[in-house]
Amino acid sequence: MQISKFNKIDKCVSKDEARYVLNNPYLICDRDAMPLPCQDDKAQLVATDGKKMVVLHVDSTHLDKSCNKVENTSGVIPVDAIKTAQRDKVATGVLGANGNVTLPSGQTFNREDYTFPNVKTVFNAPRSETIVRIGLNAKYLYEMAQALGSDEVVLDITDPNQGIHVAPNNPKGNEGRGILMPVRCK
């Protein structure tokens, strides 16, 4: 399995030890269990804390020490294994997930065995047609939330080509508002 060092999937796992099932990402190799359409040579790596969820497309195979192609198996991928693989100087962290999780260096991580939530039902839940599609710079939105002294913000969108009004949902400091300009969607 390969994961780019730019994908910080650990940001979406639960930090709550009582929710241990969500403390690590889960690799899904079974096509029927995948929440999103996927190419044949890909698997999906899912992380959630119960409030947010991310699904990444990752290669479904890896090379062992003898450079043989090995199929990965579905299951938990320890977040520490991903972070260690991503610390390498290359742009992509490589790890094998067949039994234990193994890094190219030979370092291994045990895989816990538990049932991960059925994420396919979340992604395939009925939803309305998209009415407005707006691109946002997430870093700017995060910085605005910090400037407004709030962990949560309310976005008021009147036109997809106009600035988005940003207000704190639970201000801890002075009352304030902001405007965030949308980015062009590709």
User: CATH code at 56?
Assistant: 3.10.150.10
pLDDT at 166: 92
Q: What is the mean pLDDT of the chain?
A: 86
Q: DSSP secondary structure string, 152-172?
A: -EEEE-S-TTSPEEEEESS-S
In degrees rounded to 5, what are phi and psi of residue 25? -65, 160
> Does the pLDDT value for residue 144 go beyond 60?
yes
Last residue of a domain, one of 123, 154, 172: 123
- Asked if the structure places residue 42 within a domain, the reply is yes
Q: What pLDDT, on a 0 to 100 scale, did the predictor assign at position 143?
A: 93
CA distance 183 to 135: 5
Q: Is 104 in contact with 70 (CB distance < 8 Å)?
A: no
Q: Reduced to 3 states, what is the DSSP secondary structure of residue 114?
A: coil
- Predicted pLDDT at 68: 63
Q: Give the separation between CA 186 and CA 184, rounded to whole angstroms.
A: 7
Q: State the pLDDT at residue 91.
A: 56
Are residues 94 and 6 located together in one domain of the fold? yes
**Better pLDDT: 73 or 93:** 73
**What is the C-alpha R_g of the chain?**
19
pLDDT (mean) for 131-158 = 89
Do 35 and 65 lie in a common domain? yes
Per-residue pLDDT, averaged over 133-158, amounts to: 90
Domain count, the chain: 2
Supply the range of the domain harboring residue 151.
138-180
Per-residue tokens: 123: 């992604």
SS3 138: helix
Could you read off the pLDDT of 3-55 as tens digits, one per residue?
A: 888 888 999 999 999 999 999 999 998 888 999 888 877 889 999 999 899 99
Q: According to the model, what pLDDT value does residue 133 have?
A: 82
Q: Which residues pair with 168 in a beta bridge?
A: 153
Measured distance CA(85)–CA(2) in Å, rounded: 9
Q: Are residues 10 and 101 in the same domain?
A: yes
